[in-house]
Structure 1
Amino acid sequence: MSSMLDKFVNRSDFDSYQDFKNNFKIIVPENFNFAYDVVDVYANQEPDKLAMIWCNDNNKEQFFTFKELEEYSNKAANVFSKLGVKKGDNVMLTLKSRYEFWFCLLGLHRIGAIAVPATHMLTSKDLEYRFERGNIKMIVSVSENELLDHIDQADNNTNGIVKYKASLGGNRAGWIDFLDEIGNASSEFDRPVGNQATSNEDISLMYFSSGTTGLPKMVEHNFTYPLGHIITAKYWQNVEDEGLHYTVADSGWAKCVWGKIYGQWICGSAVFVYDYERFDAQNMLEKAAKYGVTTFCAPPTIYRFLIKENLDDYNFSSLKYCVVAGEPLNPEVYEKFYKYTGIKLMEGFGQTETIVTIATYPWMEPKPGSMGKPSPEYTIELLNPEGKPCGAGEEGEIVINTRDGIPIGIFCGYRSDTEKTNSVWNDGYYHTGDMAWMDEDGYYWFVGRSDDIIKTSGYRVGPFEVESALIEHPCVLECAITGVPDEIRGQIIKASIILAKGYTPDDELKKELQEHVKSVTAPYKYPRVIEFVDELPKTISGKIRRVEIREHDSESSRKDELKSM
């Protein structure tokens, strides 16, 4: 068959970044539906083409062709329809990295229902908020008692908003055995027509953004969203037809659909799913080597653990390309990974609300720590606090200019929150809330969330630059930089540090780390306060919640003040 990719782009090959940026266009068909227009086309024309390899820590594995995914997702669509799920209904999926997630997601696309992926780590309070705000009609979950208990409790506390609860096996009271239903369902499902057919503007996917501040927002994407991830997969992750791409991501967060379905399949690459219970760097390396992963994507935290292993012990002859996102990459990690593998890590930036919007593309030489340059179809600008464009070297907020058109892949808004939507998307600009600066070569450098910027003694300090300095010291495994109120300086810099194995926290080590920061960056950026911790608060997608550290410090300060009164 002709290349699937060629159906959705004006060109697929480019000579340079500038050629790519100026001339790339996505072609959006009328009433595009990923399940029918990508998966089923493969299933009919290349039924044996590999779509997914799944494995776990119990030596179980499954290989799925596109024909099998067509059949299983048809079965899922029939199960949902049998239970009364209709176009526009919201169905939550707490399925970790079980392959049934893909059956369900595609099945919901077929019906025109809205998939609401969520992490399995949610508590009953988290779930109550999501059930009520998201008007969840049905939930499909892994069969784990603690999670099911939380779901039942949330269901009881929300007066039965959720009409149907299904789990992967088991005979729990009030729950449907989804595996049993799938087994008995027909593998044929006709594409809906008339008012039940999907249109490009219909909502297909909704995420409760993990956010580093505030309560989660309901991010809505429509049926054209998968096409935006052609940029993510083909031109940032550099996936190949007949390749095997591995993005480290649980199905509960948006990075999963960034790297485990949409763009990869359009480009002809199979996806690799490692369903592990607990992260272990050695196991991840063994699995990636065993199954022949060709392209790889993970957050910086994962790479920090990988480079501490003996990478010479693993056969990575199939591995050709690696990218990194989630938080900025520390140059120290980049250099060590390159030394061990000969592969240059290519950074990217985006949000739950977008696809990859800034990235280091194949024609570009990476600058360790830089996100790269703007994606085609995305007009990226940096604005200062007065709303004026920033010059080279000047720090500003990353915004997307949508005055001349809304790019494919950007969100439709926050559900049931017009005020919040308008607060970030107004006057033709979508405000990301992330701060950066651009160098003279046009590369963008992340500074931090606007909320995370520290103002100390008249200086503005982004957490990432101090964290990068600290991570170069061998004793630092992970760290987070925050600001602490100070009567004289306004704020002072605090470092919360997880130590690597073999190091003992003491005042002497604190002093050594402070001197280290002074030696590798501007002295005023050194942390005047250092706290050694066992863990850092993070979102479900692995981003450090600096706001939680600040809130904890503020609460402790208030308690100390009360004691002194």
Structure 2
Amino acid sequence: MLDLGDRPAAFNFTRDVMGRWAELRPDDPAMVWTEPSGTVIERSFAEMAIAASRAAAVLAEAGVGRGDTVLILLNREIEWWELMLGCIAIGAIASPGTTQLMAKDIAYRHRAAAARCVVASGEMAERVDTALAGEDIARLHVGGPRSGWIDYGERRAAATPIATAADTGFDEDALCYFTSGTTGQPKMTIHTHGYMLAHRITGSYWLDLKPGDLHWNLSDTGWAKAAWSSLFAPWLMGATIFVHHSPGFDPVATLDLLERMPVTTLCAPPTAYRMFVRSDLTGRRFDTLRHCVSAGEPLNPEVIDLWKAATGRDIHDGYGQTETVLLCANRVGAARQGSMGRPAPDFDLAVIDGEGNRLPADVEGDVALRIAEGHPPGLFARYRDDPQRTADTKRDGWYLTGDRAIVDADGYFWFVGRSDDVILSSGYRIGPFEVESALFEHPAVAESAVVSSPDPTRGEVVKAFVVLAAGFEPSEALVGMLQDHVKSTTAPYKYPRKIEFVTSLPKTVSGKIRRKELRDREWERGAA
């Protein structure tokens, strides 16, 4: 098995990791998959390797080649893992997307990524047909026959597994994640095949995984967090992935399952832990659970204390981005609750000033990763077709994360906030521009400004300050109409949970909306 210290000219995760485990531990479980009906399916490493080879064959038969982009719009179906591995095997670029995407989002992603193929099931397939009507793109349907689509299950059953995986380069493009920014449409974050190997940092330093562990990550498959904790890191460490395929998140059902199944490590966003501690934890026993982690947004120290009081387990907060692997974390035996933890040994992470100088302890500045001496493990390659925004992430030999923090005298990082206007809500990254654009499509909206607002459960939520067009009056009914409009226009998780009608918006002399002023005012008010 390759070690992180290796930087081979060629690396293919499906071949070099899954294929290797299939040789060394063919009968050991790679995945335990469940659904609310009670069905439990176990897949060994050998079975997953074969399934990946069959998925690769289906993709190739559909016309997908090395370097082609495949949009994978699946939830937690087993096929998501098969097709992710299948893309990697043939050198295609996998671009996962959340099943909350609407037709407009799908059309944009197809156009921006020049996708050669799209994979979907159920309602998502209907949205694809709406979004891509008349487009020449291969369509793989999961879940049975569908008119105009290739039946993935049927083709997989008949497929001859590919004989050998592509000898993909360590620095060759492999993944395309769409991530929201403060302006414009979502950026296409490109990762190489080497990024997958770099998740040994995530798996060893933070998740603390090893063979025999059963690891459960609650993240949606459309987000980079799934790459972290539902795919690369666990399997690099030889652990078993636990999957619960359900239509939504139910904290009580999740806790019930955590008691019944022999899960040893849990990765959940702060929102989930907040819901857990508000549930009745009296009498619950998680006998096999030994390690809990959280990421995506800051976790309240109070939640950590309540969880430990009820379960006896700490929550180890971790920090990273769509553009990186794990950068900083609270390790077992060295946690400082409420902090981001300390940097992983592989990274020179610091807090810097505007000129790129390291700041002393307890002085707020920009969180940055040193890149002057070489490309750090797992750092993204670029924003595709966007050299300016790629360049904007760099300053004086540093990669800028876009976050603000302080470092204490012991080297622990303490999160202060975003240095831009991106909203982090329940682990979702939401750009204000996308919500403002959706609102503007409604005839009642003359203009709007979208910012974060404090929320006791989600950490922060989307709030819209709306200036109404002539002929419209503020009302609760209009609030509901605008919220429904955003839900139907873009991914529902982006809708403004709070709307305030105003007569004007604060602006600079050049006419730019001063979101920071609105955001600061909102946070000064405190959680409503």
TM bracket, shorter-chain basis: 0.7 to 0.9
**Contact 2:22–2:49 (8 Å) recurs in 1:** yes
Q: Aligned in 2, Cα 1:285/1:484: closer, same or farther, shift over 3 Å? A: closer
Separation (CA, whole Å) in 2 of partners of 1:482 and 1:383: 29
CA deviation digits over 1:103-127, x for unaligned, max 9?
A: 1011111100000000111111111
Separation (CA, whole Å) in 2 of partners of 1:168 and 1:397: 44
1:48 aligns with 2:27: yes
Q: Name the amino acid aligned to 1:320.
A: R
1:249 aligns with 2:219: yes
The TM-score, its normalising length taken from structure 2, stands at 0.81
Who is 2:112 aligned against?
133
Who is 1:236 aligned against?
206
1:556 aligns with 2:526: no
Who is 2:263 aligned against?
293
CA deviation digits over 1:378-433, x for unaligned, max 9?
A: 11121223443222111111111101111111100101111110111344221111
Q: Name the amino acid aligned to 1:394.
A: V
1:346 aligns with 2:316: yes
The one of 59, 62, 74 aligned to 2:38: 59
Q: Aligned in 2, Cα 1:482/1:225: closer, same or farther, shift over 3 Å? A: closer
The one of 480, 489, 496 aligned to 2:460: 480
**Contact 1:326–1:543 (8 Å) recurs in 2:** no
Separation (CA, whole Å) in 1 of partners of 2:506 and 2:69: 46
**Contact 2:144–2:153 (8 Å) recurs in 1:** no
CA deviation digits over 1:115-154, x for unaligned, max 9?
A: 000011111111111011011110111222xx22221121
Structure 1 residues 280-359: aligned runs within 5 Å: 280-359=250-329
Q: Name the amino acid aligned to 1:189.
A: I
Who is 2:380 aligned against?
411
Separation (CA, whole Å) in 2 of partners of 1:203 and 1:88: 7
Structure 1 residues 143-542: aligned runs within 5 Å: 143-144=122-123, 147-156=124-133, 160=135, 162-186=136-160, 188-192=161-165, 197-211=167-181, 214-364=184-334, 366-452=335-421, 476-478=456-458, 480=460
Q: Percent of counterpart pairs with the same letter?
A: 35
**Deviation at residue 300 of structure 1 after TM alignment:** 0.5
Who is 1:529 aligned against?
none
CA deviation digits over 1:237-273, x for unaligned, max 9?
A: 1112211011111211111110012121121110111
Q: Aligned in 2, Cα 1:98/1:178: closer, same or farther, shift over 3 Å? A: same
CA deviation digits over 1:64-84, x for unaligned, max 9?
A: 001100111111111111111
Q: Name the amino acid aligned to 1:556.
A: V
Query: Which has the greater radius of gyration?
Result: 1
Q: Name the amino acid aligned to 1:169.
A: G
**Deviation at residue 559 of structure 1 after TM alignment:** 8.8
Who is 1:122 aligned against?
101
Q: Aligned in 2, Cα 1:479/1:350: closer, same or farther, shift over 3 Å? A: closer
Who is 2:428 aligned against?
none
1:103 aligns with 2:77: no
CA deviation digits over 1:8-48, x for unaligned, max 9?
A: 14xxxxxxxxxxxxxxxx32333111101111111122110
Separation (CA, whole Å) in 1 of partners of 2:157 and 2:462: 52
**Contact 2:181–2:422 (8 Å) recurs in 1:** no
**Deviation at residue 357 of structure 1 after TM alignment:** 0.5
**Contact 2:462–2:494 (8 Å) recurs in 1:** no
**Contact 2:352–2:367 (8 Å) recurs in 1:** yes
Separation (CA, whole Å) in 2 of partners of 1:106 and 1:478: 33
Q: Aligned in 2, Cα 1:448/1:165: closer, same or farther, shift over 3 Å? A: same
**Deviation at residue 483 of structure 1 after TM alignment:** 10
Q: Name the amino acid aligned to 2:68.
A: D
Q: Name the amino acid aligned to 1:315.
A: R
Separation (CA, whole Å) in 2 of partners of 1:245 and 1:55: 13
**Deviation at residue 214 of structure 1 after TM alignment:** 4.4
Separation (CA, whole Å) in 2 of partners of 1:197 and 1:453: 38
SS of residue in 1 equivalent to 2:340:
strand
SS of residue in 1 equivalent to 2:420:
helix
**Contact 1:353–1:410 (8 Å) recurs in 2:** yes
Separation (CA, whole Å) in 2 of partners of 1:560 and 1:414: 31
Matched residues, number: 458
Q: Name the amino acid aligned to 2:91.
A: G
**Deviation at residue 482 of structure 1 after TM alignment:** 9.1
**Deviation at residue 282 of structure 1 after TM alignment:** 1.3
Q: Name the amino acid aligned to 2:393.
A: V
CA deviation digits over 1:285-329, x for unaligned, max 9?
A: 122222210011111000001112222443311000101111101
**Deviation at residue 216 of structure 1 after TM alignment:** 0.9
Who is 2:512 aligned against?
none
Separation (CA, whole Å) in 1 of partners of 2:246 and 2:382: 33
Who is 1:517 aligned against?
none
Q: Name the amino acid aligned to 1:258.
A: W
Q: Which runs of 5+ in 2 are unaligned?
A: 424-451, 466-482, 508-528
SS of residue in 2 equivalent to 1:140:
strand
Q: Name the amino acid aligned to 2:81.
A: W
**Contact 1:199–1:223 (8 Å) recurs in 2:** yes
Q: Name the amino acid aligned to 1:93.
A: I
**Deviation at residue 212 of structure 1 after TM alignment:** 6.3
The one of 9, 33, 36 aligned to 2:15: 36
**Deviation at residue 478 of structure 1 after TM alignment:** 4.2
Separation (CA, whole Å) in 2 of partners of 1:478 and 1:199: 40
SS of residue in 1 equivalent to 2:410:
coil
Separation (CA, whole Å) in 1 of partners of 2:130 and 2:116: 16
Separation (CA, whole Å) in 2 of partners of 1:276 and 1:142: 14
Range moving further from structure 2, 244-253 or 385-394: 385-394
Who is 2:60 aligned against?
81
Q: Name the amino acid aligned to 2:142.
A: L
Separation (CA, whole Å) in 2 of partners of 1:216 and 1:178: 29
**Contact 1:212–1:543 (8 Å) recurs in 2:** no
Root-mean-square deviation over aligned CA pairs: 2.9
Separation (CA, whole Å) in 1 of partners of 2:170 and 2:505: 53
The TM-score, its normalising length taken from structure 1, stands at 0.76
**Contact 1:452–1:482 (8 Å) recurs in 2:** no
**Contact 1:300–1:325 (8 Å) recurs in 2:** yes
Q: Which runs of 5+ in 1 are unaligned?
A: 10-25, 455-466, 486-533
**Contact 1:212–1:544 (8 Å) recurs in 2:** no
Q: Aligned in 2, Cα 1:447/1:53: closer, same or farther, shift over 3 Å? A: same
SS of residue in 2 equivalent to 1:403:
coil
SS of residue in 1 equivalent to 2:327:
strand
Separation (CA, whole Å) in 1 of partners of 2:63 and 2:243: 30
Who is 1:505 aligned against?
none
**Deviation at residue 62 of structure 1 after TM alignment:** 0.8
Separation (CA, whole Å) in 2 of partners of 1:248 and 1:41: 27
**Deviation at residue 173 of structure 1 after TM alignment:** 2.0
Separation (CA, whole Å) in 1 of partners of 2:245 and 2:79: 12
